[in-house]
Structure 1
């Protein structure tokens, strides 16, 4: 953090008379060098300043800045009692860290401030979150509110919790999603039914603080796990899209421990229920087919786009970087659309091209040829000459590799990072040619096929990468070296800070 943002923070503290967070601000000023030196640390993905990061918890636009919040534990690279981390940007690609938004220090959230959502109302940035209290082998989870008038420091609502227990009286009850339609506020919360199936319950309110239970919004048919986390509901291209993150689903369709996906339907505000929603193995569509993608947050940008960011990680998996004091990251920001077949397309936002620093490869390659990537953080654009020939790219490094393969005869695309559970696969039938866009950032890879028809997100741990072409198709490759965009570029941070200062003044 540089002197400009420190002045803003100090100014706000003086006006408020509250210096309780000043020590934390000082720690922010001293951590930049440590932040940049961590092994495998990405340069254009959001990570925690220190320690563990997992689910995004809120995504909003406030005072001319984009705000992303995320669960994190700041003391080492492992899960524990999580806080809400906070990063801001004026362009969705250059991010700087703000002070911690929420910390687990009150009676109702002392063992963790879990994910919820962020929204703007009456010129206030409001956070809804789940407070977690552990007693023996049980968790007591309640829904709570915190409010900010400056987008930096948040005050927890004096009368928290606003919802004290699950309707089923089972401890799994978390991740509120709140929105307003006309004069009524709506909240959906993920929980577990008495039959131990995943379900969503619906609450309504007139004032955002006093909530009435409306009933069960959606229930599992028994094949969709025992807990639905981080629900999201929004309108997109004529549909209502319901996103859930599922724990405990057992199906041949799913290779990951947990899945994040969506169902399309139509929400009836008169009846406060769906007209045509069924959540089952048959209707659930994965958003991302990679090894490491779980829980997301979306928002409607000021230009109308529906934007998404997710956790580039997975529970019950190994985080090699945790031995260096940090773990995991968020994905790049993505744009959602629905295609003519009623499926979500997910592609990188247009702003991502601003990260391109240097064109380091631009050539045709035949199967059997290879070249050195010469960077640990880059974007790769791959085009084939035909959809009737297999395309195969192999990213090789000492002790490992990552394979991307399009099979023309079988009509699918797959990735393989090795090991006993390394293969992930999705059906894909491009019409004219094979187009794949790949983002590598030190310890992650995100693969976008076609116009976002299929996406894979996975963690990898390479050193020097060599790209080898296999398969049967000649391909054209363009490779861009990408610049650092999280917490270091002084010119861009200065611009963000100036916008922040202006937002307070005006």
Structure 2
């Protein structure tokens, strides 16, 4: 088909409806579609937004540029599921069609109240002098219809000492009030976690900044995508960092996402950190968002991507990226543990490891490795493979993309490492047609990445 050259800040509108339908049909016939990772019908997906278990179903919104595999005017696409396996598209989404959001509906979260789902997002508003921070709200009713607040933008200010990059609202209820976290940065180049308070979910009052205490760690020039959740009696804060420099094995991606376990004091505006770590040690992971699923199960999705990547095949396929699989969250010995829901795990083709070379018959497969005689897993053939090197006793694993023909994001390195505080007991690998998630010791550490070997086989060395 003939692809249109659509201007970067173009929202979905009637004049493009026929073209988008044609583009979706084109993308359906392209290869490399995953089976169990939410991905766009066309165009680009990045941050998960508005995650909720509402009305007996899971609702996932995500940042979506429909017209091509690059960053542009962001919409909130919307998919719905009862079981986290099969997802249905919903036409009820956020389209940036108002002046206050003229450059896109950026990231945010949701909260249920009075039988409705309140959606919070950053209304992206650019000028020649820079961004003007604006936060907006929409309400999804029980029948699924979504209406933007007539009072938008509900926050239209830039507190003193902060830069105009204030974004990604995360709203939660605690101590009889509603609170909003926002990511931002100070005029002197320090990342800031900004706090607002409300009694009615629509009128918000600036409270200042939350300081992280009990930790001496350089955290970059800006926070993105904050989220907060209680897990196993502990407060857990997620932050995505911009401008954080590498430190040992950590923080080698263009941007990094970190969790902090501790105690949040809204009165003192502090988060006292007891433990922390990078959430995922792979190449392609960013912008996680935590939420409560069915029966208040702590959960998370993240973007399976990072930054402005140029991936193999994206320009010809006309779609790019996915979300991670949903992950159930627990805290064990101060560490965030992540597990794939059992019903999703059971959907994968489970491969028997009865030889040193396995040729999967499916594009989507799973292996659980426990044989400590194996020191390397190669996904692909000898000339073109992802290498995963293992030191079981030391609890050390290295994912190496240098032996792949299709290279990308090499400016951020070709290896990622994990050194655990215990010996390795098992390695679970989920391969979903180039989308790879690796879980060590039942999710005590994870590595998420893409790899594009042309001939998919598994060699155990």
Q: Same fold (TM over 0.5)?
A: yes
Higher mean displacement: 100-109 or 236-245: 100-109
Determine the structure 2 residue equivalent to 1:75: 67
Supply the distance in 2 between the matched residues of 1:202 and 1:273 (Cα, whole angstroms). 8
Tell me what 2:358 maps to. Answer: 371
Matched-pair contact (CA < 8 Å) for 1:49–1:97: no
**2:352 aligned partner:** 362
Please say if 1:273 is aligned against 2:269: yes
Q: Any conservation in 2 of the 1:101–1:152 contact (CA below 8 Å)?
A: no
Deviation at 1:145, TM superposition (A): 0.4
Query: What is the CA-CA distance between 1:135 and the residue it aligns to?
Result: 1.0
Q: Which residue of 2 aligns with 1:217?
A: 210
1:350 and 2:350 correspond: no
Alignment of 1:141-152 (within 5 A): 141-150=133-142, 152=144
Query: Does the CA-based 8 Å contact 1:374-1:465 persist in structure 2?
Result: no
The 2-side partners of 1:33 and 1:99 are apart by 17
| Contact 2:378/2:386, CA 8 A, preserved across alignment | yes
What's the offset of the Cα at 1:371?
A: 2.3
Residue in structure 2 matched with residue 424 of structure 1 by the alignment = 416
Q: How far apart in 2 are the matches of 1:186 and 1:243?
A: 16
Structure (1 or 2) with the greater helix fraction: 1
Give deviations 1:231-273, integer Å, cap 9, x for gaps: 011111121101000000013332111101111111234x253
Q: Match of 2:200, SS?
A: coil
Q: Is the 8 A contact 1:261 1:287 kept in 2?
A: yes
Distance 1:206 1:25, change over 3 A: farther
Q: Distance in 2 between matches of 1:117 and 1:275?
A: 20
Counterpart in the other structure of 2:80:
88
The corresponding residue for 2:3 is: none
Structure possessing the higher radius of gyration over alpha carbons: 1
Shift, 1:304, TM fit: 3.0
The offset of 1:275, in angstroms, is: 5.9
Aligned pair count?
Answer: 436
Name the stretch that deviates more: 316-325 or 288-297.
316-325
2:233 pairs, out of 210, 222, 238, with: 238
Which residue of structure 2 aligns with residue 11 of structure 1?
none
Q: Does structure 2 conserve the Cα–Cα contact (< 8 Å) formed by 1:25 and 1:99?
A: no
Pick one of 447, 450, 453 that aligns with 2:444: 453
For residues 318 and 293 of structure 2, the distance between their equivalents in structure 1, rounded to whole angstroms, comes to 34
Query: Bigger CA drift: 196-205 or 21-30?
Result: 21-30
2:460 pairs, out of 450, 453, 469, with: 469
Unaligned runs of 5+ in 1: 1-19, 471-506
Q: Deviations over 1:119-164 (max 9, x none)?
A: 2111111100000111125112211100121464321110111111
Q: Which residue of 2 aligns with 1:261?
A: 258
Task: Tell me the residue number matched to 1:36.
Answer: 28
SS in 2 for 1:351: helix
**Residues 21 and 118 of structure 1: CA distance in aligned 2, closer, same or farther (over 3 Å):** farther
- Equivalent position to 1:411, from 388, 395, 400: 395
Which of 360, 363, 367 in structure 2 is aligned with 1:380?
A: 367
Quote the offset at 1:55 in angstroms.
Answer: 0.6
* 1:326 matched to 2:316: no
Secondary structure at 1:108 match in 2: helix
| Change beyond 3 A, Cα 1:320–1:150 | farther
Give the aligned partner of residue 9 of structure 1: none
Q: What is the TM-score normalised by the length of structure 2?
A: 0.88
Q: Give the secondary-structure state (helix, strand or coil) at the position aligned to 1:303.
A: helix
Q: Per-residue CA shift, 1:188-247, capped at 9, x if unaligned?
A: 111111211101111111111111111111269782111100001111112110100000
Instruction: Say which of 166, 186, 193 aligns to 2:186.
Output: 193
Match of 1:499 in 2: none
1:117 to 85, 109, 112: 109
Aligned position for 1:173: 166
SS at match of 2:344: helix
After superposition, give the CA deviation of every residue in 1:319-344 in whole Å (9 maximum; x if it has no partner).
2242121110001111111112x111
Q: Which moved more, 1:83-92 or 1:130-139?
A: 130-139
CA shift at 1:23, angstroms? 9.2
1:339 corresponds to which of 325, 332, 340: 332
Change (3 A) 1:151 1:413: farther
TM-score (norm 1): 0.81
CA 1:151–1:140: 2 relative to 1, 3 Å: farther
Measured in 1, the distance between the counterparts of 2:270 and 2:308 equals 34
Partner Cα separation in structure 1 for residue 211 and residue 397 of structure 2: 33
User: C-alpha offsets along residues 277-301 of structure 1, whole Å, 9 cap, x if unaligned?
Assistant: 48xxxx6411100000000112112
Aligned 1:94-105 pairs, distance under 5 A:
94-99=86-91, 101-105=93-97
1:442 maps to what in 2? 433
* Structure 2 gap ranges (5+): 1-11
SS at match of 2:343: helix
Match of 2:379 among 386, 395, 398: 395
Residue 173 of structure 1 contacts residue 190 of structure 1 at CA under 8 Å; is this kept in 2?
yes
For residues 370 and 47 of structure 1, do their structure 2 counterparts lie closer, same or farther at Cα, with a shift above 3 Å needed?
A: same
Tell me the SS of whatever aligns to 2:370: strand
2:8 aligns to what?
none
